[in-house]
Amino acid sequence: MSDWPDWFQEALRQRFYQLELASEQQAPSSPEDKNLFTQMEQFKINQNEDIQRLLSEWEEAIGYQLSQDKQSIYMEGVKDGIRLILPVMHSTNIL
């Protein structure tokens, strides 16, 4: 994607963030997810402050990595879509 203009890459990034936020707001939490969250919070409460801080940092790092993974998958999907649509557009003289 490095050969795409910066403004285009930024537009894709912003769209990804919009979709990710919408997905998080609309996604129903499963009982398993709620249970896991509750268990993790209970576990953190029972730890000393240093461990709580480390666990929070770990959660933040995992969240960031998951976001990066999702963004990479999104960008690959955009590239795949462009690769698929360009031949069609060229063959029908749309460009």
Q: For 15-57, write each residue's pLDDT tens digit.
A: 888 888 888 777 667 888 889 889 989 999 999 999 999 999 9
Pairwise CA distance, residues 2 & 13, whole Å: 13
Who wins on pLDDT, 48 or 5?
48
Mean pLDDT of 70-86: 87
Q: Give this prediction's pTM.
A: 0.62
Please report, for residues 8, 18, 32, 35, the alpha-carbon distance to residue 61 in angstroms, rounded to integers and kept in the order given.
27, 21, 22, 21
Mean pLDDT of 74-93: 84
**Which H or E run includes 95?**
none
